[in-house]
Each structure stands twice: as structure tokens, then as C-alpha cells.
Amino acid sequence: MTYYDNSRTLHCSGRLLTTLSTNITVGKCTAYVLVVYSAMTSRVPTLTHQLPSHGHAFAHAVTSLGDNVFVAQSQIVEVYDAETFTLQRRIAVPGLHLSSNGFAVCSVYQCMYVYIAYNRSRIHRIELSGRNAVKKWSVTSKAGLSVNKSHNLVVAFWRENKLQEYTTHGCLVREICLQSGVTHPWHAIQLSSGHYVVSQHTSPGAVSVVGVDGQVIRSYGPSQTSDVGQMECPSSLAVTKNDDILVADEDNNRLLLIVRSTGCVQELDLSIIDSAMYATSGLCLDESRGRLYVGGKCDGVFDRVFVFDNVNL
């Protein structure tokens, strides 16, 4: 018996397949055997879908919950199936004409939060079941929204330089006045440590981690991001399970990843952003699917959400 083997790696549908091919000879008979003996996920993000605006001016605010993807547009929120990307339903939200940071969902209370600036600034809490019952409460100015691990709503106020935390029914839990070094907070997310990461929508911009007392613990600004250059109006944020931070560096039309353990700031390689989009803003990371949703300007208006799979951060 004689045999010859050869191993190689194939790329198939976003996965790396390692194969072993073998020629086995017994007497005058030779057989060729191909065995796939391991597979691992590719680390190269791949554009797989685009969610259009369907004629609305805005389609860049995006979030996900379970098997649903929510895209905020003018006066409505569209709900898509996360596997097939077919449109499931539309939820009417009168007065909705928002920026990408004023939109969040909660898995525990099965509700959606939307910042509304029509007539006066308010937050709308909308049930995702039944008749989509709405509860409203007033806020002082433009607000960025996120939901923390206590299932409360975290609100960043761009004008007042403060954060507020509310229960799901709009009762104020705490207020954090941001101290020197943090201005124009656009979006804030609470980390597993209890601290908050805050994007500062300024030029040059920065992303800071602050404590519950509002004091800056760590800041990633021009001097800390010298390898990738300064940020310009960073807007939406997303946080991984390891507390690494994704930043929509809006006016630079790129996404940045801040690795918290090392302090390293690097640019994500999403080539479609350079060729088809500008002023990237909306972000939603679904780590369970290895997926990133990115919203931004395309063809002159905020009108599209790009879906990237094979995102492993």
C-alpha cells in the first residue's frame, strides 16, 4: 500500500475549510479521498445585504432584537426578519425624524425607545406586542439612547453635557453631570464595569470612558489615536461582550475599534464604506450572528443600512 496526501485551505461562504486529500493505492487499485477535517469562521467582514429607505429620507437608525431588525425611517419603524431580511411589518411613530443615536430596544420589557423632537423633545416608549401602546415623557434636548444591563434607559444630552438613567416607565434613576474634558455627548453606553463610554460629537472629536461621578477615566482623542488620525464628529457607539468599543467616526466616513485591554485604536476594513457611503453614523452589533449593521448617507441622503456578516471582534 502506498499513499500521497496534500492539505490545503479553501474559502467558502465566509468560512475557512481545511481539507486533506489522499491517494491510496492497494495493488493495482488507486482511490482518491478528500476529507474536510476542520472549519473556522473567516475574520473578513463581508457585505451580505442592504436595507433601502423605500423612498423615505431617513433609514440610518438601526437596532436588532432576537430575530428582528428595526430600521427607523421618517414617521415609521420598519421591522425585518434577521435571517431572510423580508419586511415583516411597519410601526407608525408620528413625529419620527431622528438621528441614529435616538433609538434603542429592550429584550426584557419587549419595547422600543425613540427620541422625538417634534414640537418638543420627548422619549416615546413603544410596546412591541399588541397594539404598540405608547408611553411618553419629556426631556430637555436632543438625546442619544441605549439600554443597560439593568434594563434601564441611558440618555445622553448633547446640549447639557449630562447623562440620565430612567426606568422603563420613565422614572429618573440617576443623573450624571459630565465633568471637564467631555462636551457634546452624542451617545453613551454603560460598560460591564458600571462606567460609561461616551462619544463626543465635536471636531476634533473623542470617545471617553467616565465614572458614575462624571469624571473622565480614559479618553481616546487626537493624541491617543495618532496611528489612525483624529476623529471627526464621532457619533454612534457599539460595545462587544469584552467591552471593546466600536465607533462611527462620522465625518471621516469610517468605523474605529477601540480595544480596551490594550488601548489600541484601529480602523475596521469595510471597503464598501469608502466606495458607496459617506458620513457613516448608525451602528448595531449582533455578536450572536457575527453581524454588524451600518447606516449612513448614500446618494446624498440618509437612506440605507448595510449588513456585514463574518464580523468577529
Task: Work out the average pLDDT over 63-74.
Answer: 91
Q: What is the CATH number of the domain that holds 68?
A: 2.120.10.30
Percent of the chain's residues with pLDDT above 90: 51
Length of the chain: 313
Task: Work out the average pLDDT over 30-35.
Answer: 43
Number of domains in the chain: 2
As a dihedral over the C-alpha atoms of residue 299, residue 305, residue 308, residue 313, rounded to 10 degrees, the angle is 110
Assess whether 35 and 156 both reside in one domain: no
Dig out the grid coordinates for 69 from the structure: 431588525
Assess whether 30 and 146 both reside in one domain: no
Assess whether 35 and 57 both reside in one domain: no
Assess whether 84 and 8 both reside in one domain: no
* pLDDT interval class at 176 (50, 70, 90): very high
Assess whether 79 and 162 both reside in one domain: yes
Assess whether 121 and 17 both reside in one domain: no
Q: Please state which of the ranges 7-16, 26-35, 122-131, 297-306 shows the lowest mean pLDDT.
A: 7-16
Assess whether 159 and 31 both reside in one domain: no
Assess whether 19 and 157 both reside in one domain: no
Assess whether 48 and 30 both reside in one domain: no
Task: Work out the average pLDDT over 194-202.
Answer: 95
pLDDT beyond 50 at 145: yes
**154 or 54: which carries more pLDDT confidence?**
154
Dig out the grid coordinates for 286 from the structure: 449582533
* pLDDT interval class at 100 (50, 70, 90): low
Assess whether 158 and 229 both reside in one domain: yes
pLDDT beyond 90 at 3: no
* pLDDT interval class at 94 (50, 70, 90): confident
Q: Please state which of the ranges 15-19, 172-176, 228-232 shows the lowest mean pLDDT.
A: 15-19
Q: What is the pLDDT of residues 258-290, one digit of tens each?
A: 999 888 999 988 765 555 555 577 899 999 999
pLDDT beyond 70 at 182: yes
Amino acid 171: pLDDT: 97
Phi and psi torsions of 252, nearest 5°: -90, 0
DSSP conformational letter for 119: S
Q: Structural domain of residue 34, as residue ranges?
A: 2-40
Q: Residue 194 and residue 190: Cα distance in Å, rounded?
A: 6
pLDDT beyond 90 at 60: no
Q: Residue 155 and residue 161: Cα distance in Å, rounded?
A: 11
Assess whether 259 and 229 both reside in one domain: yes
102: CB partners within 8 A, 6+ apart: 61, 114, 115, 142, 143, 144, 145
Assess whether 128 and 245 both reside in one domain: yes
Alpha carbons within 13 A on the beta-carbon side of 107: 10
